[in-house]
Amino acid sequence: MKKLIITAAFVVFGLISCKEGFLTVVPETNLSSATFFKKEADFQQAVNAAYVPLRNIVNDRAWLLGEMHSDNTYYSRNILFGATEQQEDIADFAVPTANGVTSNTHVLNQYRLDYQIIARANQILTLIDDVDFAADSKNNLKGQASFLRAFAYFELVRYFGKVPLHLEPVTVRQEAALPLASVDEVYAQIIQDATFAASNLLPKSKQEAGRATSGAAKTLLANVYVVQKKWAEAETLLKDVVNSGEYALMPDYNDAFSTTTGNKNNKESVFEVQFQEGSAGYNGSLIYNFLPRPMSPEELKPISGTSNPQPLTGEGNNTPTPDVIAAYESGDLRKDASVGYVTLSGSLRSNKVYPYIKKFAKTHSLHGNTGNNWPVYRYSEVLLFLAEAQMEQSKLGEAAASLNQVRSRAGLANTTASSQADLRNQIYQDRRSELAFENKRWFDLVRTGKAIETITAYGARIKANPLDYYYPEGALPRSNAFSNITELYALPADEGALSPNF
């Protein structure tokens, strides 16, 4: 019997340690989705995170796809440096395209970043109505998510045309890829989301600075209508913005842009992407992406103002072209505010003077680390959109009045254009000068139907005079330059490989 007791004790000893739940080990340093999205604060955090990809988009991608992919900027060729073809292909309208897809990494990353915003917005918009909290707050959060989703789809539809339309969060592998939606379907969704945002968001004076506002949503929606040439709808919205009293032009064009720590979300700002200088990771490095190279620390220091400048090697990008510099009317104060010059002693060119984008080059303290915000919509563009919408409806007087507000701030006389065609050209001209290097040029060329013609001529100029476009003596544009001038980017090949739909 004793043996049995010992044996039984032996067995029981083992069983004791096997409690219920022994095998349930939840991650202790992460929240899991099962416990998240339960309260208002969760949705606030989710909305905040939905803004985050914008930093990447404007710092690393949008200027490549929207500005250097136009006649406004080009790269400053450094033949000593390789692995630059991804950027060069974009500037040279030589993005390799086969079977409707491209391997270009910038195109891929832009696409993925936009869908990050969309996926985050979808989580919020799908789950938020299951949780009960104050309607004011909820509408504001839904408005922001809708604005961001509209913004991302608007980028996608203009870059790519037909794209997958995700409106619900993905939960299993099989739902990851959706068929391409038509351009009309995507625009219908953008309009629906932007309209919702316009009516649910707070005006700028009541919203926390830097978040999407009703004015920003209306401007975005108006921009959509401008692209669709729905001029009357655009005009209504833009007038709402103008008459809201929330916005004004900064008296000095230079002050329209934030510095690394100040002048952010100023009176002229309708929507801007928020950065913060410092080591916490919320910074940008915009001007470093935009400076010609190689640049010594001594040459950099007057521009960056940093105490620890490092040499900039590699190949510079987004260098203003002679075309955009020549496009400024004489006396235009925006020219000196927008374009600066720097002499690069290490350049292989005999002419070592390079223009650079000055409007964002604000001094800061840490090398490679800037805090200035990126303007997405400024009030001056609201006025220019309004002028264009009025002009297209033959309201030439009103259009000129809207335009002249912008010209006057630039130190220019009122427009003398008297015909609709002349006024149209003048508005286009002022858009280019006013919004230079703000990633508007390529979209403007496409929506006005001038892209192919303008870029073909521009490519011919580069090939004829490479020295004017910052090539060193003896270096020539690559043989594939300007071989693929199209209005849309091909969809990214890496995504095509993961989707049965393209």
Task: With contacts defined by CB under 8 A, name the span among 207-215, 238-246, 331-339, 394-402 that binds another protein.
Answer: 207-215
- Which one, 22 or 326, has the nearer CB to another protein? 22
Polymer length in residues for the chain: 502
Binding-site member from 209, 353, 460, 464 for another protein (CB under 8 A): 209
Site string for another protein, 42-81 (x = CB under 8 A): x-xxx-xxxxx--------------------------xxx
Beta strand pairing call for 101-102 and 97-98: antiparallel
Token readout for 219 is 């401007």
DSSP state of 75: E
**Residue 183 contacts another protein per CB under 8 A:** no
What is the C-alpha to C-alpha distance for residues 136 and 331, in angstroms, rounded to an integer?
Answer: 48
Taking the least distance from each CB to another protein, the nearer of 25 and 134 is: 25
Orientation angle between helical segments 379-392 and 396-409, nearest 10 degrees: 150
The span from the CA of 445 to the CA of 453, in Å, is 9
Closest to 71 (Cα-Cα) out of 490, 492, 485 = 485
- The span of 193-201, 237-245, 259-267, 384-392 binding another protein (CB under 8 A) equals 259-267
DSSP state letters, 2-19 = HHHHHHHHHHHHHHHT--
478 binds another protein (CB under 8 A): yes
Smallest distance, another protein to C-beta of residue 496, A: 9
- Part of the chain binding another protein (CB under 8 A), chosen from 322-330, 394-402, 422-430, 471-479: 471-479
Q: Rounded to the nearest whole angstrom, what is the least distance from the CB of residue 469 to another protein in the complex?
A: 16
CB under 8 A: which stretch of 62-70, 233-241, 278-286, 447-455 binds another protein? 278-286
Residue 131 is a binding residue for another protein (CB under 8 A) = no
Query: What is the dihedral sign for C-alpha 408, 412, 418, 421?
Result: negative
Q: Which residue has the tokens 């270096």?
A: 475
Candidates 282, 408, 418, 486; binder of another protein (CB under 8 A) is 282
Q: How far is the CB of 133 from another protein (least distance, A)?
A: 16
Residue that the structure tokens 């200035």 belong to:
372
Q: Which stretch binds another protein (CB under 8 A): 161-169, 196-204, 320-328, 459-467?
A: 161-169
Of the candidates 178, 176, 116, the one whose C-alpha atom is nearest the C-alpha of residue 149 is: 116
Query: Cβ contacts of residue 358 below 8 Å, gap of 6+?
Result: 336, 337, 338, 339, 340
Asked if 27 interacts with another protein (CB under 8 A), we say yes
Binding residues for another protein restricted to 345-364, rule: CB under 8 A? 345-346, 348
Q: Which is nearer to another protein, 136 or 336 (CB)?
A: 136
> How many positions of this chain bind another protein (CB under 8 A)?
106
Does the protein bind another protein through residue 23 (CB under 8 A)?
A: yes
Please report whether residue 444 would count as binding another protein according to CB under 8 A: no
Residue 81 CA, distance from chain mean position: 27
Q: CB–CB of 144/212 below 8 Å? A: yes
The smaller minimum CB distance to another protein, of residues 386 and 477, is found at 477
Candidates 438, 427, 399; CA nearest to 269 is: 438
Question: Residue 277 is inside which H or E element, if any?
Answer: none
**Residue from 294, 320, 355, 466 binding another protein (CB under 8 A):** 294
Binding of residue 307 to another protein (CB under 8 A): no
Q: Between residue 401 and residue 440, which ones bind another protein under the rule CB under 8 A? A: none
- 325/475 with CB nearer another protein: 475
Q: With both helix axes pointing from N to C terminus, report the angle between 40-51 and 105-127 in degrees, rounded to the nearest 10.
A: 160
208: contact with another protein by CB under 8 A? yes
Q: Which is nearer to another protein, 171 or 243 (CB)?
A: 171
Would you say 42 or 468 has its CB closer to another protein? 42
Q: Which residues contact 192 (CB under 8 A, 6 or more apart)?
A: none
Residues whose CB is less than 8 angstroms from the CB of residue 421 and which lie 6 or more positions away in sequence, other chains included = none
Cβ 154 to another protein, closest distance in Å?
16
Tokens linked to 4: 């049995």
Please, which residue, 25 or 135, has the CB nearer to another protein?
Answer: 25
